[in-house]
Chains A and B, each alone.
Chain A
Amino acid sequence: MEMINKKELAALSIKEILEAYPYTESFFREQQFPLDMPELTIRERHRKLSMDEREDLVLSAEEFLEQLSLFISNMQEFLGEGKEEVESLTLLPGRDKDSNRENYEKITIRKGEIVSIVGPTGSGKSRLLADIEWVADADTPTGRIVLINEKKGDKKWRLSGTRKLVAQLSQNMNFVMDLTVEEFLYLHAESRLVENEKELVERIIVQANELAGEKFSRNTPVTSLSGGQSRALMIADTAILSSSPIILIDEIENAGIDREKALKLLVGEEKIVLMATHDPILALMADRRIVINNGGIINVLETSAEEKEILKELQLMDERLNMMRNALRYGKQLDSGKMPVRQFSCL
């Protein structure tokens, strides 16, 4: 699509602008520019604004035209960005808090891969996540360099309001909007300007229900979902609808959600997943783990075959715990004969 400049926009009627660039409707709405006389041009309509309306709009007709043309070019870039997919993320070493060089040559994470990040509190996990978010170019306190597709990262990731490199999922996140699940998802889809809105929304609802221990309906207000249901919806929504190719997870609590399925969903949607965790099950579910201490990466470990065996043990224990939790919740007495012992029904 051709870029449109201010002069060309000024010659069009509001109706013509809306027809050529349907997404500008949200721009007019957010700017509080009235759409009641669509046959007029921007300048003509601006001249008819009352004092109060001008006050609300803030911008002069010329400023408004400039902002509109900028908005359109941002949107065109945003919509055309599918071409340039993020295939891999690479970290090049920086320094720890004592200025020692980090202990690795290069870490490359491809899409569909999960890497966990382990280390004590305060060891520098937030800094690492911030470096990735900023596409660090030796210009952060660690001096790390982040490459995208093996090349120096495009700085446009840093400051765009519509597309960020990194989506985050953390423990403390809540829904705060007064909307039902369905309304909420449509709102998100709308902001992404996706074409197959309905299909995506349906898929998210189905997937979220598969992840959640307890099912929920599309008409449930998002604010009354349980902790597990909220996390399930957030993960399904981020996997399917987020614009960001990289997902940073800060722990997934082990209640009311199938964590393994959740991770599979994320990587199945071709995301690069980094997961900070203190939980051995999550740490071992990853293909590799980054060990971090004193602000620096001190090691990168492959999850060994033995660890994968241990993971099965852990998952079994986890499952037992869950069964007991559920049995107690529904008023049953615990019966050791009915607990899974050595067969891996959940895998």
Chain B
Amino acid sequence: MNLVTVSGPPSSGKTSVILKTIKALEERGIKTGVVKFDCLYTDDDKLYARENIPVIKGLSGSLCPDHFFVSNIEEVVQWGRKLGLDMLITESAGLCNRCSPYIRDIKAVCVIDNLSGINTPRKIGPMLKTADIVVITKGDIVSQAEREVFAARVSAVNPEAMVMHINGLTGQGAYEFSTLLYDEETDIETVRGKRLRFSTPSAMCSYCLGETVIGEEYQLGNVKKINLGDGND
């Protein structure tokens, strides 16, 4: 089974891109399933189910979604193998822009959209910097100039990545993208022992453990303060 991890900021078009891509994969007889990681709520699993795509939904609730991802990835890989999938795609939203649910030696895709603004490539850090393929969406609604500037900035942040434009509505580019994903030779039996490409966001403070009161004396553990520029940082 092939394994591909897809991530990207919320509403960047991940689900649309994956749906169109799976259609192209299925035309080639490649059986594909999806694991959708999200925080509090998602309906996207229904979109996959409607297309008869095997899907599992995982909500992280009050946990950091990346920590949730790492703690569950091996189990979902086994789920995919049990179903006899040729390819398993994990989809996770980068909610704090610090996410990077990518695993070494496992194909990593970052989906970002032209509407998010030209400074976004700089803002989203490891999720973009450590991806193998960057998919840029919503190119049909911004000007050609903005597409070019945006793509140039993506390449400055991650010069190694392959950069593609996909239209999530018409599917233009999705077939081509699908040919980059599947590799007949690859068979992932387990991800146990593999490493993440970059550490997940870290936080271990009193508020992680349920504290709700504001005030210095309630702040314990990994606490970081804003530099207000008055010299006492």
Instruction: Return chain B residues, CB-CB under 8 Å to A161.
Output: 134, 151-152, 154-155, 161, 163
User: How long is the Cα–Cα vector from A170 to B146 in the complex, in angstroms?
Assistant: 13
A26 engages B173 (CB within 8 Å): no
B163 engages A168 (CB within 8 Å): no
A237 engages B142 (CB within 8 Å): no
Instruction: Return chain A residues, CB-CB under 8 Å to B163.
Output: 159-161
Residue of A74, A172, A176 contacting most chain B CB atoms (<10 Å): A176
User: How long is the Cα–Cα vector from A56 to B151 in the complex, in angstroms?
Assistant: 21
User: How long is the Cα–Cα vector from A67 to B130 in the complex, in angstroms?
Assistant: 11
Of B2-10, B55-63, B121-129, the one with at least 4 CB within 8 A of chain A: B121-129
Given A30-B157, A141-B27, A162-B155, residue A175 in contact with residue B179 (CB < 8 A): no
B152 engages A237 (CB within 8 Å): no
- Interface residue from A67, A141, A168 paired with B175 (Cβ < 8 Å): A141
C-beta contact mask, A292-323 vs B, less than 8 Å → 1, else 0? Answer: 00000000000000000000000000000000
B159 engages A191 (CB within 8 Å): no
Within the complex, the shortest CB–CB distance from B139 to chain A, in Å, comes to 7
Within the complex, the shortest CB–CB distance from A107 to chain B, in Å, comes to 20
Q: Is the CB of B156 closer than 8 A to any CB of chain A?
A: yes
Cβ-closest chain A residue relative to B129: A58
- Interface residue from A30, A67, A159 paired with B121 (Cβ < 8 Å): A30
Q: Is the CB of A18 closer than 8 A to any CB of chain B?
A: no
Interface size on A, residues (CB 8 A): 52
Instruction: Return chain B residues, CB-CB under 8 Å to A230.
Output: 143
B172 engages A234 (CB within 8 Å): no
Interface size on B, residues (CB 8 A): 49
B148 engages A173 (CB within 8 Å): no
Q: Which of B109-128 contact A (CB under 8 A)?
A: 114-115, 117-118, 121-122, 125-126
User: How long is the Cα–Cα vector from A160 to B143 in the complex, in angstroms?
Assistant: 19
Given A133-B173, A140-B175, A159-B164, residue A177 in contact with residue B146 (CB < 8 A): yes
A173 engages B142 (CB within 8 Å): yes
Q: Is the CB of A149 closer than 8 A to any CB of chain B?
A: no
A30 engages B141 (CB within 8 Å): no
Cβ-closest chain A residue relative to B153: A30
Q: Is the CB of B198 closer than 8 A to any CB of chain A?
A: yes
- Interface residue from A159, A168, A188, A241 paired with B140 (Cβ < 8 Å): A168
Q: Is the CB of B189 closer than 8 A to any CB of chain A?
A: no
B172 engages A237 (CB within 8 Å): no
Within the complex, the shortest CB–CB distance from A15 to chain B, in Å, comes to 20
User: How long is the Cα–Cα vector from A71 to B161 in the complex, in angstroms?
Assistant: 11
Given A74-B159, A140-B175, residue A58 in contact with residue B126 (CB < 8 A): yes
B-side residues, CB < 8 A to A, are 24, 27, 114-115, 117-118, 121-122, 125-126, 129-130, 134, 139-149, 151-165, 167, 170-173, 175-176, 179, 198, 224
- Nearest 10 Cβ contacts at the A-B interface: A161-B155, A161-B163, A159-B162, A30-B156, A71-B159, A191-B152, A70-B159, A188-B145, A191-B149, A58-B126
